[in-house]
Amino acid sequence: MSVTLPRILALETSCDETAVAIVEGARVLASEISSQVPLHRPYGGVVPELASRNHVINVAPLVRQALATANCDISQIDAFAATSGPGLSSSLLIGNTVAKALAVTTRRPYLGINHMEGHLLSPFLSAAVDPCPCVGLIVSGGHTMLIRMDEVGSYTLLGRTRDDAAGEAFDKVGKMLELPYPGGPEIDKLAASGDPKAYDFPRSMLHSGDFAFSFSGLKTSVLYQLPELREKAPAQEWLPDICASFQEAVIDVLVAKALKALAATSMNCLAVSGGVACNSRLREALRDRCADAGHRLLLPSAALTTDNAAMIGYVASLRFARGLQSELTEDIDPNLTLA
Ligand code: KG4
Ligand code: ZN
């Protein structure tokens, strides 16, 4: 007997991507994203006011586009969801207000969703498998954390970064190296032809005995290396090696701590998410190490790794199935935590 799952329209506007998706459980009927990266590139980072004003411009056409892609009418949507935090308040408010307005006019429920829960569960959406107990490694531009998930809704924070997030470190080092914003994908590309052992950068907190991270010391080490290099040779001669060595230092710590977390929790499934999970060397290292240790590894596709609304709709559908919904009076929370 086939069960009809609720059809959810979800909006994600926590930072600079405007995204709208329509899902039925793990079935993604539409996932539309309008990237603002080129708009923010001249500023070397996200400008909050520019982001929110462009969400306003992009959101209605994207909702229409998602409905067209899913070949459905707004009256066929069972509930509306939006990211309610964490993120930039002026950006969060746009998706939130639109979702609430759609819920009011169609007399359907509204669900406010935690962006980090979206990332955490995105590997399950991507693999189309039911969520199971796992350690979640979330590595994005704003967060780096290890989470123990016993079941959907039951999360324990094992550790997080004490300073920069992994993606933030990639972007800041990219800026120092005068690479286009965001630095993460550029460093990934350049590192492919570099020697990861060329520079011995610090692996901060590798042996700290906990699950905390720190990347600001590594960033400073790269900075100190640059004047001498710039003096000696043109950038194209040392850039690949610097990128590969920096990237390897980040990855060594992420992979080692994720494996330690699996051992400490006696879990055997690692679910990796967030924009940095696109990194080709990180994916390769995780695959190798998890295979050696006999752990199951869930790595989302690139489209579900960076910010998207399908992951928000997926979490909304899991909550809706449990009878949960949000009040229309519920506020956004730029500092919302997961555990
Ligand atoms: O999850 P995400 O799209 O947005 C946040 O919620 O932060 O992550 C964006 C981050 C940026 O810092 C970007 O540089 C990084 O993900 N990123 C990468 C790669 N692709 C995106 N970092 C390293 N290697 C990549 N290939
Ligand atoms: Zn994100």
Q: If 0-12 CB within 10 Å is exposed, 13-18 middle and 19+ buried, where does residue 292 land? A: exposed
Taking the C-alpha atoms of residue 164 and residue 172, their distance in angstroms, rounded to an integer, is 9
What's the pLDDT score for residue 44? 84
In testing the pocket of ligand 1, which one of 140, 215, 308 has its CB within 8 Å of the most ligand atoms?
140
Q: Collect all residues with Cβ–Cβ distance below 8 Å to 24 and sequence separation of at least 6.
A: 5, 6, 7, 8, 317
Rg (CA), the chain: 20
The bound ligand whose nearest atom lies closest to the alpha carbon of 190 is 1
Other CB atoms within 10 Å distance of the CB of residue 266:
7
The upper half-sphere exposure of residue 199, i.e. CA atoms within 13 Å in the direction of its Cβ, equals 25
The bound ligand whose nearest atom lies closest to the alpha carbon of 174 is 1
CA of 78 to the centre of ligand 1 (A): 32
Taking the C-alpha atoms of residue 108 and residue 111, their distance in angstroms, rounded to an integer, is 10
CA of 119 to the centre of ligand 2 (A): 7
Backbone angles phi, psi at 270, to 5 degrees: -115, 125
Atom of ligand 1 nearest to the CA of 182: 14
User: Ligand 1 pocket: which residues have CB below 6 Å?
Assistant: 15, 140-142, 167, 170-171, 182-185, 188, 274-276, 278-279, 306-307
Other CB atoms within 10 Å distance of the CB of residue 237:
10
CA of 276 to the centre of ligand 1 (A): 4
Instruction: Give the closest residue to 153 by CA, choosing from 318, 326, 331.
Output: 318
Name the strand (E) or helix (H) holding 270. strand 269-273
Query: Which residue minimizes the CA distance to atom 10 of ligand 1?
Result: 141
0.85 cut: is pTM over it? Answer: yes
Instruction: Give the closest residue to 155 by CA, choosing from 142, 166, 146.
Output: 146
Q: What domains, with CATH codes, occur in the chain?
A: 7-120+304-321 (3.30.420.40), 132-302 (3.30.420.40)
Cβ 30 vs Cβ 320: under 8 Å: no
The bound ligand whose nearest atom lies closest to the alpha carbon of 142 is 1
Atom of ligand 1 nearest to the CA of 189: 26
Atom of ligand 1 nearest to the CA of 14: 6
CA of 251 to the centre of ligand 2 (A): 19
3-class secondary structure, 230: helix
CA of 145 to the centre of ligand 2 (A): 12
What's the pLDDT score for residue 1? 52
What's the pLDDT score for residue 2? 57
Low-confidence residues in the chain, pLDDT < 50: none
Atom of ligand 1 nearest to the CA of 305: 1
Atom of ligand 1 nearest to the CA of 307: 3
Q: Collect all residues with Cβ–Cβ distance below 8 Å to 267 and sequence separation of at least 6.
A: 133, 134, 135, 148, 261
Other CB atoms within 10 Å distance of the CB of residue 232:
9
CA of 191 to the centre of ligand 2 (A): 24
Cα distances from 160 to residues 17, 93, 107, 246, in angstroms, run: 24, 26, 40, 20
CA of 234 to the centre of ligand 2 (A): 35
